[in-house]
Structure 1
Amino acid sequence: MKSILVVGHGSRSKDALEVFNKVLENFKLKVEDNVEGCFMELCAPNIPDTIDIMYKNGARNIVVVPYFLFCGIHIKDDIPGILKEVKAKYVDLKISLARPIGYNKIIADILKENSEGELTCI
């Protein structure tokens, strides 16, 4: 069975971390695989530490799912570089990087819904 690692960007904002954790908990309800969450930067846990724990708990096939909208530098360079360093420690570990959220017609529905609500971050 595969394990899934959801990687958020990371933030110093408590609200941002709460949203990430809500998304992670909801995602866990939708899959049967083991799911963990971590951050690329700015807060803990980070990617290497989380993969180390997953490996120690028996994970040998990890799909890294970026909770990012676009295929920018973090997805093209930063995260793959981190994963390559971690993979070098474990010869029997398979790590795959899934695509970011990207385009999905549901995004337009979310934007429409949010534009009709009240502003909460100002």
Structure 2
Amino acid sequence: MRKTGMIVLGHGSRRREVSLQFTAMVERVAREVSGAPVLPAFFSLGEPTLADQVRALALQGCDRIVVMQYFLYNGVHIEQDIPEMIAALREEFPGVEFVLQPTLQDDPALERLIVDRLLADAGR
């Protein structure tokens, strides 16, 4: 039976408070996900990195790692940079299955949130 670990991958920021807020959000999400560790990682401008967290999960015995790309749009990081990082990690961890989830682009749940927020203040 495979052991799954999860990583929420954000871009990162030079501002420490942004990194702390992202990490706190991932910790809240992790409390809602039972049965698998959920860790924050930063693509750029922050630590821990994606590679750091993959190594941490591998040390915990995870042989399947789900990477949720916490990005709004499919720019160059999504289309090129992150797939290259995942390819390198697949070479470093050949026994680990990597599942790369899509970004939030065109996600109906996000669109519903935007509609709900707009309607909450409509007519004011």
TM exceeds 0.5?
Answer: yes
Query: For residues 83 and 21 of structure 1, what CA distance do their matches in structure 2 show?
Result: 21
Which residue in 2 is equivalent to 1:22?
24
Instruction: Give the secondary structure class of the aligned counterpart of 1:96.
Output: strand
Identity of aligned residues (%): 24
Which letter maps to 2:94?
Answer: V
**Which runs of no fewer than 5 residues in structure 1 stay unpaired?**
117-122
Instruction: Give the secondary structure class of the aligned counterpart of 2:92.
Output: coil
Q: What's the offset of the Cα at 1:55?
A: 0.6
Change (3 A) 1:74 1:92: same
Which residue in 1 is equivalent to 2:4?
2
Q: What's the offset of the Cα at 1:67?
A: 0.9
Query: For residues 76 and 113 of structure 2, what CA distance do their matches in structure 1 show?
Result: 21
Q: Please state if 1:80 is matched with 2:83.
A: yes
Query: For residues 21 and 90 of structure 1, what CA distance do their matches in structure 2 show?
Result: 25
Q: Please state if 1:46 is matched with 2:49.
A: yes
Which letter maps to 2:18?
Answer: A
Superposition map of 1:91-110 within 5 A:
91-103=94-106, 104=108, 105-109=111-115
With structure 1 as the length reference, what TM-score do the two structures score? 0.84
**Which runs of no fewer than 5 residues in structure 2 stay unpaired?**
none
Q: What's the offset of the Cα at 1:25?
A: 1.5
Query: For residues 106 and 20 of structure 1, what CA distance do their matches in structure 2 show?
Result: 22
Which moved further from structure 2: 101-110 or 2-11? 101-110
Q: What's the offset of the Cα at 1:97?
A: 0.4
Could you report, residue by residue, the CA deviation over 1:29-85 in whole angstroms, capped at 9, with x for unpaired residues? Answer: 221121111100111111112111211111100000011111211111111100110
With structure 2 as the length reference, what TM-score do the two structures score? 0.82
Q: How many residues align?
A: 116
Which residue in 1 is equivalent to 2:118?
112
- Cα RMSD after superposing both structures: 2.1
2:9–2:43: 8 Å Cα contact kept in structure 1? yes
